[in-house]
Every structure is written in C-alpha cells, then in structure tokens.
Amino acid sequence: MIVKNKFTGEVFMEIKDTTRSEAHAILRNGVKATGNMAELPRFKIYDSLMDISDKLKKNSSDLARIISIEAGKPIKLSRKEAMRAANTFQFAAEETRRAHGETVPLDVEPRGIHRTAFFNRVPVGLIYSVTPFNDPLNLVAHKIAPAIAAGNAIINKPASLAPVSALRLSEMASETDLPDHAVQEVISVGGGEISNLFLTSDAIKMITFTGGTEAAEKLVRKAGVKKYSMELGNNSPVIVWNDADLDSAAESIVDAAFESQGQNCIHAQRILVKSDVYEYFRNRLIEITSRLKIGDPLDENTDIGPMITESEAIRVENSVKEACALGSNLLAGGNRDGSFMAPTILENVPPESPVWKKEIFGPVMMIMPVESMDEAINLANDVEYGLQAGVFSSDINLAMQAIERLNFGTVLINDSSDFRIDTMPFGGMKKSGIGREGVRFSMEEMSEIKLAIIKR
C-alpha cells in the first residue's frame, strides 16, 4: 500500500499489506491476548491507558503533521485531533476506576424473597474495528481506548487512504505493559479476502464500525450474527430562528459546514432559516465563507485543504452540478481544482433532490427559508439519517419543542451540529447508527452483563 501526501501527491510512506497467513496469525494472537486481557487487573489497564495518553501528548506535533499529510486536514485542526486522542485515552483510564455493576432487587414479587442478585460487566471478547480516514487518529482512539478499558483485545483496520497515524498509535500501545497483541492493526484495501476473514471469523465477538450506511449494510450481511456498534451516515440540519444571535450563528455554521472539507458525519449540511431574516443571514454566510483560505494543509493559515482523493472531489462537484441542473442557485464556490473543492453554498435546492436527501460528505451547505418551526422540524426530519441537529433560538419554548420533535441522537441549542466532546453519548437514530460511542458508553457496548443470583 502506498500512502501519498494529499497536497503534493508525493509518496509519503509505503506500507506492506497484510497477507492471508499474517491475518490468521493476527486472529490467533488476538484470541490469546483476549484471555490475557481478561486476567489483567484494572490498575494495570489504567496505567497502560495513561501511558498511551502520555505518549500521544509527547508526540502530538509529529502526529498532527502525519494527519495533515495523510488526510489533508489543516494543521491547526490536526493538532486538536492529536490532543483529543490523548484525552480519549485519559478518559478511558479514568473510567476503569468507575466501571462497576449493580445490585438488582428481586423481592419485587414473592418468588424473589430470600434471593440476592447482582451483576458485573465482563469483556465481550475479541473486537474487530473498522475506522475511516476523516479523523484517522481520534476515531481509532475511540475504538481502542474503551475496548482496552473494558478488558478486551482489539484488531483495527484503519482506512487504507490514511493509516499511518493509526499504526503509530498501535506501536505506542505495544510499548506499554498491556499483554502482547492486545492491540493489532490489519492493513487491507477494500472489502476483499483479508477483510472478509475477520468479518466472518467466529473468533471475533464484536464489530465496531465507523463509516457509510451502505458499507455497514454490506458488512452486516457478510459478518452475520455478532454484536455491533456502528456510527454511520448523517445529513445534519441546522435551524436558525429570527430571535437568534445571527452573526454568531453564521460563524458557527460556516465552521461546521466546511471544517475538514466537510468530510465529517456531523457537518452542517441543510440550513433552515426563518424567512424574515433569511436574506441577511444568507449574505452573512456568503461573506464569512469568502474569507476561508484554501491551500497547503501544513500552512498555519489554511482553512480548507484537499479532499481525501480527487475522485471524491469530483463526486462532490458532480453533486453540485446536478443540484444546479434541478434549479438550485449557486451562491458560493462550486468550482474544483484537482482534489480541492471550494466551499460551496446552494440555495433553493429541491427537497426531493439527492443532494438534499443524502449525505454529501464534502464542503457543501444548502440554505432554505422557512415560515414556521413546524415546517423547519418537518424538513429537518425528512431524511433517513438522525445523528445530530442544531437549533439557534433564544426562545426556550421553541428550543424545547425542537428537542422533543427532532429525530436525532443529539440536538444542540444555540450551536451548530458539529460539536462533540469525547465523553458524551454519541450516536444516531434511524440509519445513522447502532449503539452509542463516547468512552463510558462504548465500554458498555464492548462488555456483557453477567448476573449472579444467590438464594439464602
């Protein structure tokens, strides 16, 4: 596998693909590590997770540079990602001291008298994770850290387009007091023979996946009956009401729509604006977008880097052209230069069009005026996804109405859709996912309840 610099196109690193015999060895080693992890006391798990966190902090500058080169992310964002990954391991370490079971009262009916029940959480077993390119370090941390904290071994398949930071993370894990092979990486392109081996193996007890909804459906059909945790596609709406701080909302939405070139599952895609402030707000979005600098991800002043591949930029460009052919107005951007796609704003996009209904996963936002909160909420809900949504309003009654009626895993008030703290329960409704991430919540997904009942 050849990893290229997403800005220059030069070869950054060559990585050997995992062979079939190596894949079988990885599985065998993973099974052995699973048994060793189950016997590891919590204080040793805590120490190892903190050790990884410290290593990530010490190497954060180097890791940030790797992220920018392999994923095209502006360096100022890559630094944040590196530190978030370090924090994720620290959060996981702290959770090892809080993870516990509960007692369960059984005398709620006569048959339960003289019986005491309690449960503990036990490791689910060997985990296989599949991670994407857009946050190539922190989204790997979100799989590995809670898996280890819950007492599991894990095999991760990083994105073939941006695997280097994940490999560095696994090297750091191997330098701790964790059992050998507790964290392993498998390098495989696409969904071929090697990937299928891990998906279908009975040794794998759980699959955790971050990626597109269609890819997840194919994965489940191949893997069959296993435990799953999946963070999938999205199409985030943001509602802007006439009583909001419009200038602050515009800054927040532009950042949410175009950060990381819009290659973000919670990026702001559909902006629904109260009609009486629509013209002002539209103009503010255009003005703020015009200030964004496109360029070298390693340049401190760059806001927009290249997309992960030129073919992805072409896909987004074609989606914009299709929307314009259906009657949409192009207010900003729309042009492409190689793998660079300019930040794009579309207006009057037909709600039945693909670019409105589907996840664009690129630097495109669409804006539309609405007359009522009912109309805004109905439009926001009228997609197959439900990860995160934002609402800007100073009216607590409207805010509560939105929280109750928006069918999204997270509803943010006076913030855009693009906000995540790595301890919060993160996940979606409908086709946006299965289960919840966020360290403590991932640990619950990555463990099983074992109940004990004692008759006196």
Do 275 and 323 sit in the same domain of this protein? yes
pLDDT, the chain, mean: 96
Do 115 and 127 sit in the same domain of this protein? yes
The answer as to whether 74 is a domain residue is yes
Domain enclosing residue 246, as ranges: 236-422
Angstrom distances, CA of residue 125 to CA of 37, 131, 354, 422, 443: 9, 19, 40, 23, 12
The answer as to whether 113 is a domain residue is yes
The structural domain count of the chain equals 2
| Confidence at 188, pLDDT banded by 50, 70, 90 | confident
pLDDT in tens, 241-250: 999 999 999 9
Do 228 and 240 sit in the same domain of this protein? no
Query: What is the arithmetic mean of pLDDT over 346-370?
Result: 95
Rounded CA separation 232/208 (Å): 11
Percent of the chain with pLDDT over 90: 97
Out of 81, 185, 259, 265, which one is annotated catalytic? 265
The answer as to whether 95 is a domain residue is yes
Task: Give the single-character DSSP code of 62.
Answer: H
Angular region, 414: left φ>0, alpha ψ -120 to 50, beta rest: left
| Confidence at 140, pLDDT banded by 50, 70, 90 | very high
The answer as to whether 427 is a domain residue is no
Do 244 and 225 sit in the same domain of this protein? no
Angstrom distances, CA of residue 392 to CA of 60, 271, 277: 34, 11, 13
Do 413 and 440 sit in the same domain of this protein? no
pLDDT at 238: 98
Do 291 and 372 sit in the same domain of this protein? yes
The answer as to whether 451 is a domain residue is yes
Do 270 and 322 sit in the same domain of this protein? yes
The answer as to whether 180 is a domain residue is yes
Residue 284 has pLDDT above 90, yes or no: yes
Out of 231, 259, 437, 445, which one is annotated catalytic? 231
| Confidence at 193, pLDDT banded by 50, 70, 90 | confident
Rounded CA separation 184/196 (Å): 17
Within 10 angstroms of residue 192's Cβ, the number of other Cβ atoms is 10
Q: Which helix or strand (DSSP H or E) is residue 146 part of?
A: helix 138-149
Residue 425 has pLDDT above 70, yes or no: yes
Following DSSP, what letter does each residue of 274-328 receive, concatenated? EGGGHHHHHHHHHHHHHTPPB--TTSTT-SB---S-HHHHHHHHHHHHHHHHTT-
Confirm whether 265 is a catalytic residue. yes
Task: Say which residues have a Cβ less than 8 Å from residue 217's Cβ, sequence separation at least 6.
Answer: none
pLDDT in tens, 285-301: 999 999 999 999 999 99
Task: Say which residues have a Cβ less than 8 Å from residue 33's Cβ, sequence separation at least 6.
Answer: 126, 153, 179, 180, 181, 182, 184
Domain of residue 70, CATH code? 3.40.605.10
Do 271 and 373 sit in the same domain of this protein? yes
| Confidence at 190, pLDDT banded by 50, 70, 90 | low
| Of residues 192 and 303, more confidently modeled | 303
The answer as to whether 330 is a domain residue is yes
Confirm whether 371 is a catalytic residue. no
pLDDT at 290: 97
Task: Say which residues have a Cβ less than 8 Å from residue 8's Cβ, sequence separation at least 6.
Answer: none
Within 10 angstroms of residue 89's Cβ, the number of other Cβ atoms is 30
Residue 191 has pLDDT above 70, yes or no: no
pLDDT in tens, 24-48: 999 999 999 999 999 999 999 999 9
Do 240 and 227 sit in the same domain of this protein? no
pLDDT at 339: 97
Do 287 and 227 sit in the same domain of this protein? no
37, 40, 44, 48 alpha-carbon torsion, rounded to 10°? 0
Do 43 and 93 sit in the same domain of this protein? yes
The answer as to whether 192 is a domain residue is yes
Do 171 and 251 sit in the same domain of this protein? no
pLDDT at 295: 97
| Tokens read off for 374 | 């009912």
Domain of residue 382, CATH code? 3.40.309.10
Within 10 angstroms of residue 8's Cβ, the number of other Cβ atoms is 12
**Paired sense of beta strands 329-332 and 344-347, if any:** antiparallel
